[in-house]
Each structure stands twice: as C-alpha cells, then as structure tokens.
Amino acid sequence: MKKKFNIKDILFPTIALFLIAGVCTFILALTNSLTTGKILENAEKTKIETRKMVCPTADSFSEDKTVTVDSQQYTYNEALSQTGEIIGYVFTASDKGYGGAVTVMTGMDVDGKITGVQTIEINETAGLGMNAKKESFRGQYKGKTGPFTVSKDATTDTQIKALSGATITSNALTNAVNKTVEIYNHIKGGDNNG
Amino acid sequence: MKVYLSIILAAILTNNFVLSKFLGICPFLGVSKQTKTASGMGIAVTFVMLLSTMVTYPINKYLLEGLGLEYLQTIVFILVIAALVQLVEIALKKYMPPLYNALGIYLPLITTNCAVLGVVVLNVEEGYSFGHSVANSFGAGVGFLLAMVMFSGVRERMESSDIPEKLKGLPIALVAASLTSMSFLGFTGIVEGMLG
Amino acid sequence: MAEKKNSLFKEFSKGLIDENPVLRLVLGTCPTLATSTSVESAIGMGLAASIVLICSNIVISALRKVIPSKVRIPAYIVVIASFVTVVQMLVSAFVPTLNEQLGVYLPLIVVNCIILGRAEAFAGKNSVLASAFDGLGMGVGFTTALFCMGFIRELLGTGTITISLLNNGNPLFPAIFGENPITIFILAPGGFFVFGMMIALANHIAQKKGKKIAELHSCKACPMFENCTSPDKEVKE
C-alpha cells in the first residue's frame, strides 16, 4: 500500500488545480464587476417603487432619517410633493410571525391616515400566512388611522379581519403596522413640542 | 441564552432541514434503511456542519467581507467543506479507527450533501453572529439526525408490511416521508409560543 | 454523418425519458422538492440548473485531458461553483424576482448531484459535443420533471396557476376549488407525496416498457460512487 513519495505526483495536480481556480476567480471577478451596478440599481429601484406603492401621491422621498422609539431605532423617509412639501411618511417596522420576522412598510399622510401597507420580508406558511401579501388583506389598513386590533369579523374601523387559519401572521402584521403608527405619533408629538 | 435556545429549537423542529427545507434529501432517502446507519450518518453530518460553520465563519467575516469578495462565497464555502471533510476522514482513519468505522465511512458522501453547504449559506444570509451560527448549525444537525432516525424506524417497519405492487420501493418511502413531514408541521409556531 | 447525428440525438433524448435525472435516476431531489411549489419557480430552477449543467459539461469535457484524475473532483467542483456564481449574479441583476423565489436554492445548485454526477459519469469521458447534448437532454429532463411537479402542486395547492410574465401576473384561470384549495400540496408533505406518486407512475411506465423500476437510491449515478464506503452502497448493476 505504501507508495513512494514522488514530488511530481503532488506538484502537477496542485498546479493544475491552482490554474483552474485562478481562471475561475478571474471570470467571477469580471462578471461581478459587470453586474454589481445593475444589482445595486435594482435594489434601489425596488425600494423606491415600494415607497411609491405605499405613498402613491408622493413625488419624491427624503433621505433616510432616524428616530428612537422605546429605545429602538427606526429609519423613515418623508414623502415630498412636487414643491418639496412634506405630504406624508414612509415607515418600516417588523414583528415576529409564524416563520420568523414579518417586516412591513407603511405609508401615512400628514394626518396619520394610512395610505398603503406592503410586506417587505415575510416567511409564513404558503397558502395560509402568505396570503397576508395579498391586497385583500393589506388593503384593510388603507384610509384608516391606527392603532388596529385583529378580530374574526371586523366591524369597526380599527378592526382588521384575520386571515383564516393564520391568526399569528395577522397579529404580527398588525403589530408591525401599529409600531409604525407609534413612530408616527412620536414624530408628530416631537414636532408639537418643538 | 434564550436566543440560543430558540435558534436551536427552531432549527430542529420548525425549520427542520430535511422535512421542511428539503435539504439533505439524498442521504435521507439513501442511508435510512436501518436505524444504525441512519444515526451514524446523522451524527457525522452534525459534526461536519459544526466544524464547517466554525471554519467558514471567520473566513467569510474577515477574509471575504473584509476584502469585498462576497461573490466568491459559494466557491470558497464548497471547497472549504470538501477539504475539511477529507482532512477529518484522513485524521479519523489514522488516529481513531473505531470512530472511523462508525462514522468516517459516511464522510465522502457528505461533501455533496446540500444540507452542509445550506446551513453555512443560511447562516450568512441570516446575518448570524458566530455564536448564533454555531447554535443554528447544531440545531440543523440534530434536526437532520432526528429526521433520519425517525424515518429509518418507519422504513424498517415498512419492510414487513403489505404494500401495493406499484408503490413498492421509492414511492412508498416518499409517502412515508410525506407523513413524517406532516407530523413536523404541527411544530410550527411552537418555539415562539414556548419562549415567548 | 447520419450516424453521428443519430448518436447525438440519443445523448439528448436519453435524459428526457429513459434516464430522466429526477424520475429515473432519482438525482437532484432537494431542488425538485423545494422549488416545485409553483410552476414559475420550478421552471426558473430548471433553467438555472440546466444552464450550469450545459456550461460545466462543455468546460469539463474540454479540459478532460488536462485535469489530473487525482484532483478531478475538486476541479469539477470549482468549475461548477464558478458557473453557479455567474448564474446567480446574472439572475439577481436581470431577474431579481426569480432570485427572491429561489433564495438559498440558487447557490445550492453547486451540490445538485445531477451536475457533479454528469461531470463524473459523462463529461469527464466524452467529447465536447456529446457532453453538450448530454447536458442539454438532462437539463430538459430535469426542467420537465420540475414543471410537472410544480404544475400539480400549484394547481391543487392554490387552485390556479400564476405566472408573472403572463396575464399581468394575475392567475391564468379562476381557482378551481374556490376559496379552499388543498393547501397541503404546496407545503412540505405535499411535495414528498406528489414526488412519490410521480415516481410510481414513472415506474409503471418503465415496467410496461420492460425496464427496471427506479432504485431507491441509484448509487451508480451518485457522483461519490467511487469514493463511497457506506454499508448501504449497492454495487450490483
């Protein structure tokens, strides 16, 4: 079984593997430099498109601003009209759902009325909790002022009809939206005091 | 502490690699005829998962991210895993023959096991710290072991049952896997419920 | 010439039916089960894996005389991983929604046994052209099997089929079960179940044609066959 140690047996495969790896790395670096710009552009585009979805009347959005509520830091953007006036806000918050964090983006006008809700990150059960992505659920928040509660059959304006078979997801999404309402109140409160 | 416990439990029960993420199906179907081999494979996978996580974490954090070479992640991870598996195999064979006979024989199969690469990639995607990554890998490995052992038990019993001709072999094994995975669906949400 | 054409067609067509990687060789089971929750992601995974398979088959067969046999497995892995990363970058640049749908399963194409299996069993021993056709056939076979799985699961699990490129991303037809589709089919248990039924059907057809049924684990097709020391290894033909 014992083989004689032969330098050629080790050197040649090593060099061959090294060369293959080198060429591959070069190709990857090339593709990377060609695609990074596009990937970043995509991410930026999706971000702005989502903001537009939750705040359709806005013309543009301010730079990221931060606010601390209950010792947690949140990033938000102001929605600006064509003339640069603040006509609303876009907030992001998350809460724990069935399969991990549920993150939502909420748009509000200056009076705190919700103009739209979009799910940013959601990993719930397909066919049940995932239905929270549908307009039929998300649309329930639109045009209303929070905070909201979840119930079986929504009768008042602040009640949200739970998804059938996915109460935890409904709660998580609603809690996340309520957090954005809290952030809004905090900002507004701050404005009044200042 | 609670965070670690919830990561481990979630990886074992709710996000079980085999039964809900479909990672590592080949050994799950291939090496599950007997409970003994199934548990050997499960332990070997857990060990390699833990080791790979501990080695790839610093490489990714300090070398790849430090130099802005994230696009080399896939290639570096798979090579590190492959090399690691070989090294462990050689070391076991030479220094611990009994352990090699029990576990080492499964090692070559693990190189192309998507569960190992899967756990490493998922740790990076989730942005876990070193401790969290190790906890997640441990949970994933134990979850794999649990699924393997449970399933091999089911299959051992199936050997002696009367199965419709057309379903014999692989089809009935997959139906059994389906039922096993259905039982794991019942765990969804339990970790959040237990640990608040 | 005609004979040559014929044999190339054979390399291509064997992957479709007789040696369908998913239903006959039982390879690539992880992506098959994981990404067949919808027709769209099934086709996306099928195409992505096929591109990697064809490219790596071509490159590996072109380099088959240069790669020392001692390090061929690591060399194959490097080539495959590079193509996977290239595909991953292109997908996230040009089809970001697909990237989101496939998630972790996109980088995991690296360990799809079909690709390493074909490199070891075919591309490392055959000409570039034959390997390209082999890859194409296997890729089409993989995609077709995934499409069938995705179609059954999405239809039963959601009641309809939705493809974002067609019909403005709306369902192609009204849901067949109304409000209550059989959701379990797009969950994990449904994946195992549908796969089992499809293998049973493929076995039935194979038996009628006088071929043997799919092995529980077709060891011979596994890329690690030669190095495998598992006691479950099946050496018989």
Question: What DSSP assignment string belongs to A103-119?
Answer: EEEEEEETTS-EEEEEE
CA gap B172, B163 in Å, rounded:
8
What phi, psi does A127 have (nearest 5°)?
85, -20
Contact A127 C183 (CB under 8 A): yes
Look over chain C and give the mean of its residue pLDDT values, rounded to a whole number. Answer: 83
Closest CA to A166 of A105, A95, A93, A99: A99
Say how far apart CA B144 and CA C112 lie, in whole Å: 18
pLDDT band at A193 (very low <50, low <70, confident <90, very high): very low
Asked if C121 reaches chain B (Cβ–Cβ under 8 Å), the answer is: no
Q: Which residues from B are below 8 Å from A168, CB to CB?
A: 189, 192
Out of A55-69, A99-113, A179-193, C199-213, least confident range: A179-193
Fill in the amino acid letter for B157.
R
- The pLDDT confidence band at residue C237, using thresholds 50, 70 and 90, is very low
Band (A176; pLDDT cuts 50, 70, 90): confident
Average pLDDT over residues A150-161: 78
Q: Is residue A49 part of a domain?
A: no
The pLDDT tens digits for B168-196 are 888 888 999 999 888 888 887 677 667 65
pLDDT digits (tens, 9 = 90+) for B1-59: 788 888 898 888 888 888 888 888 878 887 787 888 888 888 888 999 999 999 999 99
Q: How many domains does chain A contain in total?
A: 1
Please write the tens of the pLDDT for every residue from A117-129. 888 888 777 667 7
- Residue by residue, DSSP assigns chain C as -HHHHHHHHHHHHHTTTTT-TTTTS---HHHHHHSTTSHHHHHHHHHHHHHHHHHHHHHHHHTTTTS-GGGHHHHHHHHHHHHHHHHHHHHHHH-HHHHHHHGGGTGGGGG-HHHHHHIIIIITTS-HHHHHHHHHHHHHHHHHHHHHHHHHHHHHHHSS-B-TTSGGGSBSS--TTTT---GGGGSHHHHHHHHHHHHHHHHHHHHHTT-PPPPSS-GGGSTTGGG---TT-----
Nearest to C30 among B82, B114, B122 (CB): B114
CB B178 within 8 A of CB C192: yes
ipTM: 0.88
Which among A16-20, B28-32, C137-141 has the top mean pLDDT?
C137-141
Quote the minimal CA–CA distance from B194 to chain C in Å: 23
Question: How do the residues of chain A divide into helix, strand and coil, expressed in percent and rounded to 5?
Answer: 45, 25, 30
Burial class (CB in 10 A: 0-12, 13-18, 19+), A8: exposed
Q: Parse chain B into domains and list their residue ranges.
A: 27-190
Residue A90, in any domain of the structure:
yes
* pTM metric for this prediction: 0.84
Q: Name subunits touching A (3+ CB pairs < 8 A).
A: B, C
Within-domain flag for A135: yes
C-alpha pair distances (Å), A167 with each of A159, A164, A172: 13, 7, 9
Provide the percentage of residues in chain C whose pLDDT is more than 70.
87
Residues 161-220 of C with CB under 8 A from B: 184, 187-193, 195-197, 199-200, 203-204, 213-217, 219
Kindly write down the DSSP assignment for every residue of B68-92, as one continuous string: T-GGGHHHHHHHHHHHHHHHHHHHH
Q: How close is the nearest chain B Cα to the Cα of C158, in Å?
A: 18
CA distance A154 to chain C (A): 19
Examine the pLDDT at A1 and tell me if it is beyond 50.
no
Interface touch B71/A32, C-beta < 8 Å? yes
Best to test chain C binding among A35, A41, A123 (most C CBs inside 10 Å): A35
**Residue A20 domain-assigned?**
no
How sure is the predictor about C51, in pLDDT bands with cuts at 50, 70 and 90? very high
Beta-carbon-side half-sphere exposure of residue C164 (alpha carbons within 13 Å)? 10
pLDDT digits (tens, 9 = 90+) for A70-89: 777 888 888 888 887 888 88
Domain that holds residue A159: 55-187
Q: Do B178 and C189 touch (CB under 8 A)?
A: yes
Contact (CB<8Å) A20/C187: no
Of the candidates C190, C183, B185, the residue with the CA atom closest to the CA atom of residue A127: C183
List chains adjacent to chain B, taking adjacency as at least 3 C-beta pairs closer than 8 Å.
Answer: A, C
Chain C residue with minimal CA distance to B117? C108
Q: Do C93 and A38 touch (CB under 8 A)?
A: yes
Coil, helix or strand at residue A50: helix
Q: Does C84 touch chain B (CB under 8 A)?
A: yes
Least confident range from A57-71, B71-85, C18-32, C137-151: namely A57-71
Cβ B15–A98 below 8 Å, yes or no?
A: no
Check residue B139 and give its pLDDT.
94
Distance from CA of B105 to the nearest CA of C (A): 5
Res. A15: pLDDT tops 80 = yes
pLDDT for position C14 = 80
Q: Are A78 and A62 within 8 A, CB to CB?
A: yes
B45: exposed, middle or buried (Cβ count in 10 Å: 0-12, 13-18, 19+): buried
A105 located within any domain: yes
